[in-house]
Amino acid sequence: MNAWSIALDSIWHHKLRSTLTALGVVIGVFAVVTLTSLGSGVRNYITKQFDSFGADLITVAPAAPAAPHASGGSGKGGSGPFGGGRGFVQTPSTLTVADATAIAGLTADHVAAALPVATAAAQVQAGGTVAPVGVVMGVTAPYFAAEQLRFASGGVAAGFGSGVVLGHAVAAAVFPGGPAAALGQTLTINGKADQVVGVLAPAGNQFGTDPDSSVFVPVAQALALSGSRTVAQILVRADSTSGVNAAAAAITALMNRRHPLKDFVVVTAGQILKTIQSTLSVITGVLGGIAAISLLVGGIGIMNIMLVTVTERVREIGTRKAMGARDADILVQFLVESVLLALLGGAIGTGLSGLVGNVVGHIAKIPLGLTGSSVALALGFSVLVGAVFGVLPALNAARLMPADALRSE
C-alpha cells in the first residue's frame, strides 16, 4: 500500500483541518526562516558595504597603555576593536600628525595614504545663529574620498589649507538657500571668521560618526581650536585590499617604536567586520532560537490534531486492519501523514518567508531573499517535527485492536 498516496488523500479530503493543523508549522517555519535570512541578509549587506568602501582602510586609534601585567599586544587595547570610535575618544590620545607622516612613509609596505583626523568642540555661528554642530573635525583633503563623503557643492583643494566644509544638516540649518548658496558665505568658529568652501551631500549615520552634523576644517586649525597637539585617530588606506594585513603589521611595528607604551590600536576594516558579523550571528541565533519555539508549538499542534484524527478514524483503522493491514502498515500510514503535513506547512512557511523577505528587502534596499541553506534547514526541521510529533498518534493507531476499532460505532 502506498502510504504517501493514502496520506495525500487523507490530507486532501480534510482540507480545512489539514490547513489548520499545518498552520502552526507554517508560522514556526516562517518565523525561523524569516529571522535567519534577515540575519544573513543584513550580514551580507554589511559585508558588501565594507567591501565597497572600507576593505582597504586601517584605523590607528588611541588606546589605554598596555598594563604591565597584561601581555596583550597593541591590538587588545582597552577600548576594543572600535578604537576611539572614530572621533569620540574616551582614551586620551597620544597620536600626532608626525605619526601620520611617518606612517605615510611606509609606501613599501602597501600604505597608500595616512590621514590624521583631529576633533574639537567649538561654537559655530553664522549671521548670529548658532549652528547645530556635533563636532568640528580636522581632516586632510583625501579624507572625504576615503570616507566616501561626496560634495553637494564646492570642494577642497589638494592641500586643504583653509576654509570650512559643512555637513549637510549644518548647512541646511544656517544657510537655507541650499548647498550652492552656502558657498562663499562666512561663518565664525569660536569667534574666528571662516569661509565655506564646500557642502557635503547627505551621508547618514556611519558607524558612530555623523558627517551630516559635523563641520570639517584643516587638521592644523582643529588642533589650534582644541589647543592640543594630538589627533583623534589616523586613517590609513592600503594600496590594495590584499595589502591590508601587511600594512597593518608594518604600522604596528612602526608605532611600537614610536609609542613604546603601546597606547594605540591598529584595527583593520576586516576586524571590524568580523566583530559586527559575530555580533549579528549571536543576535540571529537568539532570534532564530526564539522562533524555533514557535516551530515546537506547531509540532505539538500536529500531535494534537493527529491524536484527534486517530480517534476519529478508528473505524477506518479497524477496516484497514480487517482487510489485512499490519500494525506497521498503520504506523507508517499515520507517520507519513504527519510528516507530510509538517512538510507542507514548512513549504508554505518557507514560501511566505521568501515573499515577505523580497518585499521587505525591496523596501529596505537590502537583499533578503531565501538562501538555499535556510530552505533546506527549514524543510529538514519540518520533517523532523512531523516525525517526532507523529510517533505517538501513529503508535496509538497501530496498537488499536481491530475488534475494538470496529466495535466503536
Partner 1 sequence: MVEADGPGDRPAPDGSSVSSVPFLSSVSATPAAPSAAALSTASGSGGGSGVPVADRSLLVQMRGITKSYGRGAAAVQALAGIDLEIRRGEMLALVGPSGSGKSTLMHVLGLLDRATGGTYRLGDRDVTRLGGPAAARLRGSRVAFVFQGIHLLPSLTALGNIELPMAYGRQPKGERRRRAREALERVGLPHLAHRYPGAMSGGQAQRVAVARAVAAGPEILLADEPTGALDRRSGRTVLALVQELHRTFGLTIVIVTHDPNVAAHAERIIQMEDGRITSDTPVRDRLFAEAEDAAPAGQGERAPA
Nearer to partner 1, 66 or 306 (CB): 306
Three-state secondary-structure class, residue 218:
strand
**List 78, 81, 243, 402, residue binding partner 1 (CB under 8 A):** 402
Residue 10 interacting with partner 1 (CB under 8 A): yes
Shortest Cβ 318–partner 1 spacing (Å): 8
Shortest Cβ 353–partner 1 spacing (Å): 32
Shortest Cβ 26–partner 1 spacing (Å): 24
Shortest Cβ 405–partner 1 spacing (Å): 9
Distance of CA 255 to the CA centre of its chain: 32
Binding to partner 1, residues 307-326 (CB under 8 A)? 315-316, 318-326
Which among 317, 273, 228 has a CA at the least distance from the CA of 52?
273
Residue 327 interacting with partner 1 (CB under 8 A): yes
Nearer to partner 1, 14 or 43 (CB): 14
Binding to partner 1, residues 125-154 (CB under 8 A)? none
Which among 323, 304, 324 has a CA at the least distance from the CA of 396?
304
- How far, in Å, CA of 165 to CA of 212, rounded? 11
Which among 407, 220, 255 has a CA at the least distance from the CA of 317?
407
What does the angle CA 225 – CA 227 – CA 80 come to, to the nearest 5 degrees? 95
Nearer to partner 1, 111 or 398 (CB): 398
Nearer to partner 1, 158 or 328 (CB): 328
Number of residues in contact with partner 1, rule: CB under 8 A?
A: 26
Q: How far is CA 23 from CA 17, 35, 362, in A?
A: 10, 18, 26
Nine-digit cell string for 308: 484527534
Nearer to partner 1, 9 or 51 (CB): 9
Shortest Cβ 8–partner 1 spacing (Å): 10
Shortest Cβ 320–partner 1 spacing (Å): 7
Nearer to partner 1, 359 or 401 (CB): 401
- What one-letter code names the amino acid at 206? Q
The region of 22-30, 250-258, 296-304, 399-407 touching partner 1 under the rule CB under 8 A is 399-407
Run of H or E residues at 5: helix 3-13
Instruction: Convert 130-164 to b/e letters by CB count within 10 Å (16 or more is b).
Output: ebebbbbbbbbbbbbebbebeebbbebeeebeebb
**Kind of pairing between the strands at 135-139 and 214-218:** parallel
The region of 223-231, 299-307, 351-359, 400-408 touching partner 1 under the rule CB under 8 A is 400-408
Residue 198 is classified by DSSP as E
Binding mask 349-388 for partner 1 (x = CB under 8 A): ----------------------------------------
Shortest Cβ 328–partner 1 spacing (Å): 7
The region of 5-13, 59-67, 181-189, 275-283 touching partner 1 under the rule CB under 8 A is 5-13
Three-state secondary-structure class, residue 120:
strand
Nearer to partner 1, 210 or 329 (CB): 329
Residue 13 is classified by DSSP as H
Shortest Cβ 354–partner 1 spacing (Å): 32
- How far, in Å, CA of 253 to CA of 260, rounded? 10
Which among 237, 238, 233, 229 has a CA at the least distance from the CA of 264?
233
- What one-letter code names the amino acid at 364? A
Residue 407 interacting with partner 1 (CB under 8 A): yes
Phi and psi at 199, nearest 5°, equal: -130, 135
Q: What are the residues binding partner 1 (CB under 8 A)? A: 1, 6, 9-10, 13, 315-316, 318-329, 401-404, 406-407, 409
